[in-house]
Structure 1
């Protein structure tokens, strides 16, 4: 293996993709080769030494692509360092306190011995797809609640952990 980290994500309107891309950028900057890819496009997670999986939250559930990725690659994930992140609260709560993973994500974390989880604020702006997204926007509860500094800090912690454990080149 080449020591590369996969940052796989499930997103509908792009906020989770933005987080995944930031995580990959920070890992690369810290000397840990990484690439961000949509979870549904990954056919082989065994090609990576470590994996970060992110999913947008919708009604208390991770995005279906993130859930399917974890289910499909469970065996490959079990043998390497893994981190999860969630994206979603449309308020400042994710910046104010640690938000625990939703129950199914927590269960997967336990089963796979996931190294850590973070929840980041979401982003829902005009033009977002989906009936529920439209209702949220019409109610005035949309906006951009993503804290890029928190994402960068979390990714830096992952890079340091991988480097310390010698999990990457």
Structure 2
């Protein structure tokens, strides 16, 4: 039950006629679930082993609505950090969600089949490459979805320091 809670799948389990004994499937022989429900169960399965050395999560919150995504993301992040500190485990999260990527110890940017950038969030933002541009676009889409991304420019902030806007530097 701990894994179900960590995966945020307790509500999914509560709706299943036979609980954990419910047969699942998309072929009509079992109960079919919505995309986000399948994703929650997959996250729960990734939490079943108490001390894994490696956990790979491929788009772990892509099928979830923003509030549920945030809640699951917080759980996954806490669990990954705990496993790293306690057992030396490695968690690899493959994601297009820059809000998720920003908390990683190391971010690897792959583009056109090759490694393009590598570093921590702050370093990649300062580098002002593809990661910074895409991060800014995702952030700006949530802040002002009706506006076009700002053109690339150098502006002076209130602190008097120069800061480059990377939003259109792709």
TM-score, normalized by the shorter chain, greater than 0.5: no
TM-score, L = length of structure 1: 0.30
Which protein has the larger Cα radius of gyration, Structure 1 or Structure 2? 2
TM-score, L = length of structure 2: 0.30
Q: Which has the higher contact order (CA 8 A, sep 6+)?
A: 1
Higher strand share: 1
